[in-house]
Structure 1
């Protein structure tokens, strides 16, 4: 039983909608436009410790839909979770916070964005599936490249 103190722990403590906004700055006039809207989607991740062994991980989607140069609607939604993660090596912790936790949060975020679009009177915007592992690996490669450039002699 003495080994239990070193047993790795990974548990979801809570999932919640942290922030949600919908803006239709050019309504009602823009709603009469017949042009096909352009959709721009940006995703961002954040992870931070909130107590010993507890981390808040959030995924934010910003969906901007515009007709010509005017915004039709803008949705920003941030879905978060509190995760208990203990007794893991640092390199594993980074992967869990950047890959596993966002993968658990993202389906809720997708549903929220789709629902808000529908409730606002628009066709739903379905966020595509995201490969968080590929995103993490690309970020790691970019950091290594930047560090390599910074350490290079002038």
Structure 2
């Protein structure tokens, strides 16, 4: 129908009536970020006191440590690592230890430094976390215990809190504390 009226949509894009060619038309100039791949980099499950630990009746003390790291692969590719260590102990000893490094390759292009930093340390971990959570639950179950269901984590809230803490330290005249990886990024 557009041809019947002499208004071919494809050729009208470059016509002077439409203001000429659009700047960057066809160029890859839009900000893009996403998870390209995700994988278990390292998984260790220890059940050091089995089979005795299966008979312990004391309520275990749980210690769950969590950290986020980033390794830049090239200008557009970064590896994000979620490190989760879950330890269950009672008065009788350690029931189990699960140590997981779950990673994702993150691709980013045409983004400002602040946007990239926030995607790496808030959004990418939010996307990866449910998969890491399932792996930890399955590993604990496979070790012979009830699955450990990690509570959801507000990565965006933690990210904002880390930035606020860093700014407060800088305003107080002190050097910012190193958090996360060795580049001072939040964990």
Is the TM-score greater than 0.5? yes
Judge which range, 80-89 or 67-76, deviates more: 67-76
Q: What SS does the aligned partner of 1:6 have?
A: coil
**Equivalence for 2:24:** 2
Deviations 1:55-108 (A, max 9, x none): 111111111100126211010111110011011011111111111100111010
Q: What SS does the aligned partner of 2:43 have?
A: strand
Deviations 1:17-43 (A, max 9, x none): 111111122333333322111111111
Spell out the pairing of 1:91-130 with structure 2 (5 A cutoff): 91-130=114-153
**Unmatched segments (≥5 aa) in structure 1:** none
Judge which range, 126-135 or 8-17, deviates more: 8-17
Deviations 1:109-144 (A, max 9, x none): 010001011111100000111100111011111111
**Equivalence for 2:17:** none
Distance 2:84 2:143 in 1: 17
Q: TM-score, normalised by structure 2?
A: 0.75
Q: TM-score, normalised by structure 1?
A: 0.90
Judge which range, 69-78 or 92-101, deviates more: 69-78
Asked if residue 43 in structure 1 is aligned to residue 66 in structure 2, the reply is: yes
Deviation for aligned residue 1:151 = 4.8
Distance 1:8 1:132 in 2: 21
- CA RMSD between the two structures: 1.8
**Equivalence for 1:33:** 56
Larger radius of gyration: 2
Bigger relative contact order, structure 1 or 2, given CA contacts below 8 A and separation 6+? 1
- Larger strand percent: 1
Distance 1:151 1:130 in 2: 29
Distance 1:147 1:124 in 2: 42
Residue correspondences, number: 152
